[in-house]
């Protein structure tokens, strides 16, 4: 098989040293894109060489993507089959089993777990795969078989949606590829119960990345009036209720997500302390301020306002606006948690935008906590994009 693999080569000015040290991506302007390279089918495997024809490893190539090649293995002769996939999955599983007793976590975090463009979230006996790179789509059957063999899950969902697949030229599709689902899956986390819709929900159905930030906010929630904006299926609100919040209001644009949040609250026996409000987050916060609403703890966890560098400035203005509107709803001495999952916004820019918004609301603050994604979302040191989540908790002193 390896004898027939094509070879692709870096341009002379491309940084081969970074790739040798672990950087996993080769951009389109770094690769010699002759007629043969452009003719490769998306997801093809190829040997990568530097400009001096020295081997760098085995890559997967997608001529239609700005990330034209992704490193799979430093061995250019590696066989990408059942054994190789099982080894990567076993390594990922070993970390999660050290971290968590219950089988609810992100099992594979793409490049950081050696499976570029692949996200796998586990929900007990079920798992959701997001094959966000062409090679993963091509090898999906083998990946599913290896996943079942390594973890013992009985149900596997392919979630083929999202911006990343569009950038790879892949079609959208969500389907059960192994086993069956009877409905939303209850997920225990931080003492709360979340209902995850693995087929119709956002992303894989639940956001595990906020687990440690839920836990910190939960510690502030006892006896508090809580507002959770961009709540999805109850993320911070249900964690706060599990922490003893007096009451919690969840705001989201999605009625199905709020319905799942209500089911989660009921499963916890906290439905009498929980309420929802459907609507645009900005409009709802403005309306709450007009109504004179006041909360001891406000959390805003919006979608990525800046998913790319081109959207950076607009995204920063949106984060500033969120901070300004939310700060006006916090009681004196209360807490405001602001989050960003935008790859293009680093911590310093996010912190500055948040502080500007709080200042424009006429409030003064101190940062008491800075959080990131949980350890089941490991960061590849060479790839800043793998550490995308930021959470800031401010105490509003005036």
* Sheet hosting strand 67-73, strand order edge to edge: 7-9, 44-49, 55-61, 67-73, 25-27
**Domain shared by 173 and 285, yes or no:** no
Beta-carbon contacts of 22 under 8 Å, excluding residues fewer than 6 positions away, are 380, 381, 382
Alpha carbon distance 252, 258 (integer Å): 7
Q: What is the number of alpha carbons within 13 Å of residue 61 lying toward its C-beta?
A: 25
The domain boundary residue, chosen from 51, 73, 95: 73
174's tokens:
């969500």
Where in the sequence is the domain holding 170, given as residue range(s)?
82-178
341 an active-site residue?
Answer: yes
Which pair of tokens denotes residue 279? 């609507």
pLDDT value, residue 167: 84
Which CATH number is 67's domain given?
2.30.130.10
**What's the pLDDT score for residue 229?**
98
Using one digit for the tens of pLDDT, what is the confidence trace for 60-77?
A: 999 999 999 999 999 999
Q: Are residues 146 and 295 in the same domain?
A: no
Q: Clarify whether residues 288 and 150 are in a common domain.
A: no
Of 147, 178, 209, the residue at which a domain comes to its end is 178
| 291's tokens | 């109504």
> Is the Cβ–Cβ distance between 389 and 340 less than 8 Å?
yes
- Please identify, among 50, 73, 96, the residue that sits at the C-terminal boundary of a domain: 73
Tens-digit pLDDT string for the chain (398 aa)? 445 899 999 999 888 888 999 999 999 999 999 999 999 999 999 999 999 999 999 999 999 999 999 999 999 999 999 999 999 999 999 999 999 999 999 999 999 999 999 999 999 999 999 999 999 999 999 999 999 999 999 999 999 998 889 888 899 999 999 999 999 999 999 999 999 999 988 889 999 999 999 999 999 999 999 999 999 999 999 999 999 999 999 999 999 999 999 999 999 999 999 999 999 999 999 999 999 999 999 999 999 999 888 999 999 999 999 999 999 999 999 999 999 999 999 999 999 999 999 999 999 999 999 999 999 999 999 888 888 999 999 999 98
CA separation for the pair 358, 396 (Å, rounded): 9
CATH classification of the domain holding 112: 3.30.750.80
Residues 60 and 88 both lie in one domain: no
pLDDT at 163: 85
Residue 39 has what DSSP assignment? T
Q: Give the torsion sign (CA, 167, 170, 173, 179).
A: negative
**CATH number for position 214:** 3.40.50.150
Q: CA distances (Å), 101 to each of 147, 214, 228, 353, in order? A: 19, 18, 28, 38
Q: Are residues 131 and 268 in the same domain?
A: no
Model pLDDT for residues 369-397, shown as the tens digit of each residue:
999 999 999 999 988 888 899 999 999 99
Coil/strand/helix, residue 394: strand
Same domain, 123 and 205: no
User: Quick one: 156 and 191 in the same domain?
Assistant: no
Q: 300, 337, 339, 341: which one is catalytic?
A: 341
Tokens of residue 200, six digits: 């119709």
Report phi then psi at 234, rounded to 5: 105, 10
The pLDDT assigned to 1 comes to 45
Is 333 exposed, middle or buried, given 0-12, 13-18 or 19+ CB atoms closer than 10 A? Answer: exposed
In a shared domain, residues 205 and 303: yes
Residues 28 and 94 occupy one common structural domain: no
Examine the domain organization and report whether 291 and 383 are in the same domain: yes
* Structural domains in the chain (count): 3
The values of phi and psi at residue 57, to 5°, are 150, -170
**296 and 325 assigned to the same domain:** yes
* 153 and 243 both lie in a single domain: no
Per-residue pLDDT, 2:
47
Q: Is 276 helix (H, G, I), strand (E, B) or coil?
A: strand
pLDDT in tens, 311-320: 999 999 999 9
């Amino acid at each position: 098989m390896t004898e027939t693999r094509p070879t692709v080569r870096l341009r002379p000015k491309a940084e081969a040293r970074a790739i040798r040290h672990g950087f996993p991506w080769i951009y389109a302007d770094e690769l010699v894109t002759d007629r043969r390279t452009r003719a490769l089918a998306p997801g093809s495997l190829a040997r990568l060489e530097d400009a001096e024809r020295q081997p760098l490893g085995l890559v997967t190539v997608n001529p239609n993507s700005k990330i034209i090649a992704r490193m799979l293995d430093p061995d250019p002769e590696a066989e990408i089959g059942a054994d190789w996939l099982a080894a990567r999955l076993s390594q990922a599983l070993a970390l999660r089993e050290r971290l968590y007793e219950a089988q609810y976590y992100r099992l594979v975090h793409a490049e950081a777990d050696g499976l570029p463009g692949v996200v796998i979230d586990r929900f007990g006996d079920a798992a959701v795969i997001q094959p966000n790179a062409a090679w993963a789509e091509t090898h999906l059957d083998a990946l599913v078989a290896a996943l079942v063999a390594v973890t013992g899950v009985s149900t596997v969902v392919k979630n083929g949606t999202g911006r990343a697949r569009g950038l790879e030229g892949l079609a959208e599709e969500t389907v059960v590829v192994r086993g069956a689902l009877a409905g939303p899956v209850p997920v225990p986390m931080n003492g709360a119960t979340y209902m995850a819709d693995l087929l119709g929900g956002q992303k894989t159905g639940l956001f595990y990345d906020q687990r440690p930030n839920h836990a910190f906010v939960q510690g502030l929630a006892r006896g508090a009036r809580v507002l959770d904006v961009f709540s999805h299926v109850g993320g911070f609100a249900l964690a706060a209720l599990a922490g003893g919040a007096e009451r919690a209001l969840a705001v989201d644009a999605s009625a199905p997500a709020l319905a799942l949040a209500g089911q989660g609250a009921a499963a916890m026996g906290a439905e009498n302390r929980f309420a929802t409000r459907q609507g645009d987050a900005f409009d709802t916060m403005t309306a709450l301020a007009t109504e004179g609403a006041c909360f001891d703890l406000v959390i805003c966890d919006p979608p990525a306002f800046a998913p790319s560098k081109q959207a950076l400035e607009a995204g920063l203005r949106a984060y500033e606006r969120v901070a300004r509107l939310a700060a006006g709803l916090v009681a004196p001495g209360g807490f405001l948690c602001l989050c960003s999952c935008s790859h293009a916004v680093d911590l310093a820019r996010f912190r500055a935008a948040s502080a500007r918004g709080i200042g424009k609301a006429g409030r003064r603050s101190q940062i008491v906590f800075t959080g990131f994604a949980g350890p089941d979302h490991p960061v590849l040191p060479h790839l800043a994009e793998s550490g995308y989540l930021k959470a800031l908790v401010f105490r509003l002193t005036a």
